[in-house]
Every structure is written in C-alpha cells, then in structure tokens.
Amino acid sequence: MGKIGELYQSADWKTEKHVPVIESPDVVKAGEMFAVTVTIGKEVAHPNTTEHHIQWIRVYYKAEGGKFPYAVANADFQAHGASTDGANAGPVYTDHTVTVRMKVSKPGTIFASSSCNIHGLWENARDVKLA
C-alpha cells in the first residue's frame, strides 16, 4: 500500500510548469501581516483549458519545531472555458494564482500543493524567518 506523500511531485519551477511557485518575504516581523502568492507556471506557462488545467492550490504553514502544519488557504479553480457550446467555448476562465495574507509568531516553512487534472499532485516549500 502506498502513501499519498509518494504521489506528490516536485521539480525546478523555472523549467517545470506544474510546480507551485511561492512568493513571500524571506524575513517577516512576528505578528505582522504579509502576503504570500502562489502561482502555477510562473516561468513556463501552464495551460488553462477545459482539457488541461489546475484544479486547486493549497497553502500550509509549519512552525519551526512544530509537529503539524496548519492549513492556511485552499483555492479551487472552477472555470476553464467549459460551456454547453463545447470545450473552451465558455465565457469565463480562472487564473491559477492565489494570494493570501497571513501572520506568524514563529519562523517556519510555507508549503504549497496543487493538482493538475492530467499530471497529478505537485508541491513546493519556502522558509520564512523572523526579524
């Protein structure tokens, strides 16, 4: 029996269009809000069609020395050009980017995961230090 963690893929986000790219400050002040933006396909564009798209992005935070990560945000992308007129004929598309504002009291790691409807689960991580 496998484990779900074995299904997550990662790679260099500058050459792979599926890896979540996490943008946030390297150093933040404890208790002060800061923005975290997660994008799929920052350097290499990911398709956003009815047939091939990003379904969701999830963001987690694990404090240094903590046992468990905390769920921060979950973004579901529902509009990919589908229509009763056919694939890619719809009037609305979503963009697979999400920005959340958060604050932390301890240094730690931001984790982001995503799901491509064709290529499965992807992950990335970024450390955050306190000033």
What pLDDT tens digit does each residue of the chain (131 aa) get? Answer: 789 888 998 988 888 899 999 999 999 999 999 999 999 988 888 999 999 999 999 999 999 999 999 999 999 999 999 999 999 999 999 999 999 999 999 999 999 999 999 999 999 999 999 99
pTM listed for this prediction = 0.93
Strands ordered across the beta sheet of 120-130: 27-28, 120-130, 108-116, 54-63, 70-76
Domain region containing 114: 4-130
Predicted confidence at residue 16, as pLDDT, reads 86
CA dihedral 102, 72, 36, 109 (to 10 degrees): 100
Q: Dmax of the chain from CA atoms?
A: 54
The secondary structure of residue 5, as a DSSP letter, is: G
Domain count, the chain: 1
Q: Active-site residue numbers? A: 16-18, 46, 52, 116, 119
Residue 97 belongs to domain with CATH number: 2.60.40.730
